[in-house]
């Protein structure tokens, strides 16, 4: 067990052969404890609590739990019930009442939390050294930075202690650590993964990110974590039809002009980036030089403009009461936000809009863009001696992406002669997430690299091309978000897009003979009412598989919504509700469940 890989393909094979989740989780905890000297973790769960979660999986259907028994970690600015949230500041710590939106979705899908990971305090930094819990050390050379601010999350995955982890990203925190740890870092479209329950850095820009050993694993986790969360005011539903990218032989791949590239004196990384470009060309992509000027100008706004004040706002009360509790470098940054006025903010927004319009011109010439993730890597000692300038260098290719509403994936691309990793980033406009992960998986495979610092080869199964055609599906019962059958829907690529009501011509009944209990929706023109539900989208290619598991007397038919649209949705054969309890007056299945628990 000590040599077992925790990538999802390996775990799936282990569990399919009758393997015990407790064995995997004990090993995950052992590996996490072994990382103490590298300052990876802030808090680990008690072994008894982890094993209790494993025991709760007994008898559960693995098909309905796409992350069955998968160990994961969470950056410690993301709430996970049962562990304090510190944001890298002990005096700031509090005990959250519930999981964040993303953690809740992952636990519902069967994933099991191991602990909370170290970070640059208040997610302010790209280095992983601005923490009272110690500088997080690079798994390839402990003298070097791991990248930040999601430092511990990246190292935990790279070293094989967990299968995946959650980080956050405002300026590159979900990508730079991936590059420095030889793993995949997915920074999804802003708002795609819920930020409810996240201590904000810049709340309007923050993204919850995923670190994984390969793109297939990142895509599988993203399908679960990226469920629309109507309780998050910054959440955005994915469109019913997702944009795709051409296969490499037809791909127009943008690459920066020579004058836009910066490697900050590193003698090895320019050749590694050229090699990555060459691999893309060998895969069939047409390389097109593009002008990064508007992208880089937008990047400068992040720390030279009033978005710094958003960092100040995020911790304003704590800053006023406890300035001595804040790391000196972080304090200097957040204090600096006080110099900006409301006029400065509006002027910067206008400038960003102008730069975004200029940047749009690139997408008429290319389908996606390839850059280094970071031009160089620094030692911990060098960063501590020159913390602001060297940190700034690491954001050269990352700081603009959230401001310009782009999706991105960072993938491994090679090693320097001294054994330190180098990575590249693929990015495209919003909602190209699945397509970028597919392309990133091909590029990762072409590089011929092992996974993280584990020494394990990439799984042989390639990540299939994402389905860009999606079907809307109205659901009214146990498949809704947070309910027992939801993981099966999310595991097939389902995404929630809206909270809905039917037209006022339906009745809802409790079918308590089904396991788990479900509602039956029937149309009743004479005495019907509006019934609450959720609208999801599902890849067209997955619809047949989903329908195979629908239990009679339920079926998929056309349901009329309150806005007059007719969409596919769950209905019930009329004969089955004759003896069932009518629960229409409760307004919906979730409301009925709440009433039974009262």
Catalytic residues: 75, 149, 173
CA angle, 501 then 505 then 510, to 5°: 75
Residue 500 pairs with which residues in a beta bridge?
Answer: 533
HEC states along 88-102? CCHHHCECCCCCCHH
* Strand ranges for 430-482 from DSSP E: 470-475
20: burial class by Cβ within 10 Å (0-12, 13-18, 19+)? middle
Helix axes 328-336, 387-394, angle to 10 degrees: 70
Helix axes 215-225, 101-108, angle to 10 degrees: 110
Strands 41-44, 506-511: pairing is unpaired
Element (H, E) at 11: helix 8-16
Q: Residue 323, Cβ neighbours under 10 Å: how many?
A: 11
Angstrom CA distances, 220 to 114, 159, 237, 314, 345, stand at 19, 20, 18, 31, 38
461: burial class by Cβ within 10 Å (0-12, 13-18, 19+)? exposed
* Strand ranges for 192-322 from DSSP E: 207-212, 252-256, 286-290
Angstrom CA distances, 567 to 102, 227, 523, 535, stand at 28, 20, 14, 9
């Amino acid at each position: 067990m000590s040599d077992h890989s925790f990538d999802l393909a390996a775990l799936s094979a282990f569990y399919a052969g009758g393997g015990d989740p407790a064995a995997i989780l004990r090993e995950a905890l052992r590996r996490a404890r072994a990382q103490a000297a590298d300052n990876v973790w802030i808090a680990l769960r008690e072994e008894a609590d982890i094993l209790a979660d494993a025991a709760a999986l007994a008898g559960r259907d693995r098909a309905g739990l796409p992350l069955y028994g998968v160990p994961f970690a969470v950056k410690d600015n993301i709430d996970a019930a049962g562990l304090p949230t510190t944001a890298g500041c002990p005096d700031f710590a509090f005990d959250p009442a519930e999981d964040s939106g993303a953690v809740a979705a992952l636990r519902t899908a069967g994933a099991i939390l191991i602990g909370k990971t170290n970070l640059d305090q208040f997610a302010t930094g790209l280095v992983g050294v601005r923490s009272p819990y110690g500088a997080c050390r690079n798994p390839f050379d402990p003298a070097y930075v791991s990248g930040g601010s999601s430092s511990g999350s990246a190292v935990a995955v790279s070293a094989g202690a967990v299968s995946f982890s959650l980080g956050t990203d405002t300026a590159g925190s979900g990508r730079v650590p991936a590059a420095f740890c030889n793993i995949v870092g997915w920074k999804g479209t802003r708002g795609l993964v819920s930020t409810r329950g996240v201590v904000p850095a810049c709340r309007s820009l923050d993204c919850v990110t995923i670190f994984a050993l390969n793109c297939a694993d990142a895509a599988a986790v993203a399908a679960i974590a990226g469920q629309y969360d109507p309780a998050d005011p910054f959440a955005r539903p994915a469109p019913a039809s997702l944009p795709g990218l051409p296969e490499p032989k037809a791909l127009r791949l943008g690459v920066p002009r020579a004058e836009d590239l910066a490697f900050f004196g590193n003698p090895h990384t320019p050749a590694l980036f050229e090699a990555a470009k060459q691999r893309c060309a060998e895969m069939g992509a047409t390389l097109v030089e593009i002008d990064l000027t508007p992208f880089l100008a937008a990047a400068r706004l992040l720390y030279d403009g009033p978005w710094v004040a958003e960092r100040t706002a995020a911790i304003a009360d704590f800053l006023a009461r406890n300035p001595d509790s804040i790391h000196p470098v972080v304090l200097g940054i957040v204090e600096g936000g006080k110099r900006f006025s409301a006029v400065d903010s509006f002027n910067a927004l206008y400038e960003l809009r102008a730069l975004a319009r200029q940047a749009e011109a690139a997408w008429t010439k290319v389908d996606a863009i390839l850059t280094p993730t970071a031009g160089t890597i620094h030692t911990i000692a060098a960063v501590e001696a020159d913390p602001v300038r060297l940190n700034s260098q690491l954001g050269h290719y990352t700081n603009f992406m959230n401001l310009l509403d782009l999706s991105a994936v960072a993938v491994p691309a090679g090693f320097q002669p001294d054994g330190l990793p180098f990575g590249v980033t693929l990015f495209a406009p919003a909602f190209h997430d699945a397509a970028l992960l597919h392309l990133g998986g091909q590029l990762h495979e072409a590089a011929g690299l092992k996974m993280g610092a584990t020494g394990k080869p990439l799984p042989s199964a390639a990540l299939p091309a994402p389905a860009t055609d999606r079907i809307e599906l109205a659901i009214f019962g146990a498949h809704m978000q947070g309910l027992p059958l939801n993981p099966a829907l999310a595991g097939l690529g389902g995404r929630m897009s809206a909270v809905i009501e039917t037209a006022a011509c339906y009745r809802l009944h409790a079918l308590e003979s089904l396991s788990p209990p479900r509602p039956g929706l029937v149309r009743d023109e004479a005495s019907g009412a509006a019934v609450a539900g959720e609208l999801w989208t599902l890849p067209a290619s997955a619809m047949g598989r989903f329908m195979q598991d629908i239990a009679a007397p339920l079926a998929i038919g056309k349901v009329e919504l309150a806005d007059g649209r007719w969409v596919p949705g769950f209905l019930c054969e009329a004969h089955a509700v004759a003896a069932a309890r009518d629960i229409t007056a409760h307004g919906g299945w979730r409301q009925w469940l709440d009433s039974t628990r009262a």
